[in-house]
Amino acid sequence: MRDESIFNKFESLTFDDVLIVPGYAEVLPDQTDISVQLTPTITLSIPILSAAMDTVTEAPLAIALAREGGMGVIHRNLSPAEQAAEVAKVKRSQSGMIVDPITLPTTATLGEAEQIMSTYHISGVPIMDENNHLVGIITNRDFRFADHCDLDKPVTAFMTSENIITAPIGITLDDAKRILHKHRIEKLPLVDEEGVLKGLITVKDIQKAQDYPHAAKDAQGRLVVGAAVGVGADLEERLDLMVPLGLDAVVIDTAHGHSAGVMRAIERIRHHWPHLPIVAGNVVTADRGAHQSRCPCHQSRGRGRLDLYHPHHRRRRDATTQCHPRVRKGSASLRCHPHRRWGDQIQRRHRQSPGCRCTRGDAGQHARRPG
């Protein structure tokens, strides 16, 4: 059988050849729910997850996807520090309440404050003393007309330090919005009884929550984000930097998920971060996916979750494969292969196995011998 005959055996359709016939419905589009549960802790409003491939997703795309209800996966074609910085940008881009706000000490310069604001796209930074007490806040309005020579001056020369409006821990967003509106301010620091900064609520976060009601968020109201890792030696280094930032899921980036390297990578992640959701793949058949889900480390610990992506019974049909081979040890079960060189090698190995009881048929396929 020649390769050209493979294409003649199957019917091929284009987009214009297929019509999805609409059926009777009693619901309107705005009444539908297409949300999916990616992991027990991550719910996506739309079933869109960016690929973990190189250069596909960095902070801008991950933010845009999460705001619409999906999740972006930061690629690993970056240094560990650069990848962690992209994760930090996503986690700090939007929050109900910033529980770990970026701060500066009183010894910082105006240039350092400007650099942080431009890096994280924020408009102000709280200023803290050595005891973590709030002593002031500097916004871009405080140095709007500053000269270049002022960049080496301390932030205390520009910050607002008197009549700082604060709120206690536990305030609701509605109450915070009223305080922000009443005093015409954009940032509301949250402090405890001793004046120690515990959080920050901003006008931008409240506005973003209204503009993107279906955004995919974590338990703290931050946008969700995943990150890709390989199976190499830098796996632990990357996760050591990203997990403390609030990484929501790790994706093992590999061309072939059903491999020993991926299994070992799953075990390494489970050992150090037992509660971090893992997305592993790609696998083609359900039994290969079941093999990954039975990872010894995952079973022995009895905690956490292994989330697998595998297209259900997806078959690849192209010029080299008519259907997937399945060789069972000690069995004569083998699915047909075309006469490509690597396909013949698989057939020869199968015929040489002790359990093989088949012979080569005229059509180039294995045929089981009677008896």
* Strand runs labelled E in the chain: 36-39, 42-44, 73-74, 104-105, 124-128, 134-139, 167-168, 187-191, 197-202, 226-229, 249-252, 278-280, 306-308, 358-360, 366-368
| Tokens matching residue 143 | 């140095």
What would the two tokens of residue 16 be? 């214009």
pLDDT of 295 reads 61
Give buried/exposed letters for 247-257 (b at 16+ CB in 10 A, else e). bbbbbbbbeeb
**Rounded-to-integer distance, Cα 165 and Cα 14, Å:** 63
pLDDT score for 269: 95
CATH 3.20.20.70 spans which residues of the chain? 33-94+217-308
Classify residue 101 as exposed, middle or buried by CB count within 10 Å of its CB (0-12, 13-18, 19+).
buried
Alpha helix locations (H) across 94-146? 110-120
For the chain, give every residue range classified as CATH 3.10.580.10: 104-211
pLDDT at 290: 61
Closest CA relative to residue 100, chosen from 4, 166, 197, 29? 197
**Domain 104-211 carries which CATH code?**
3.10.580.10
Q: What is residue 247's predicted lDDT score, i.e. its pLDDT?
A: 96
Taking the complete model, does pTM exceed 0.75, yes or no?
A: no
End-to-end CA distance of the chain: 28
- What does the pLDDT read at residue 79? 95
Query: 33-94+217-308: what CATH class?
Result: alpha beta
Q: Which residues of 24-48 are buried (b: 16+ CB within 10 A; e: fewer)?
A: eeeeeeeeeeeeeebbeebebbeee
pLDDT at 305: 36
pLDDT of residue 21: 87
Tens of pLDDT, residue by residue, the chain (371 residues):
566 776 677 777 888 888 888 889 888 988 889 999 998 889 999 999 999 998 899 999 999 999 999 999 999 999 999 999 999 989 988 877 787 788 999 999 999 999 998 888 888 899 999 888 899 999 888 888 888 888 899 999 999 888 889 999 888 888 988 999 999 888 899 988 888 888 888 888 888 888 999 999 998 889 999 999 999 999 999 999 999 999 999 999 988 888 889 999 999 999 999 999 999 877 777 766 666 666 643 322 233 333 443 333 333 333 333 333 333 333 333 333 333 344 444 444 444 445 444 444 433 444 333 43
- Tokens (6 digits) for 240: 């050591």
What are the residue ranges of helices labelled H in 32-75?
A: 59-68
pLDDT for residue 289: 61
How many Cβ atoms sit within 10 Å of the Cβ of residue 193? 7
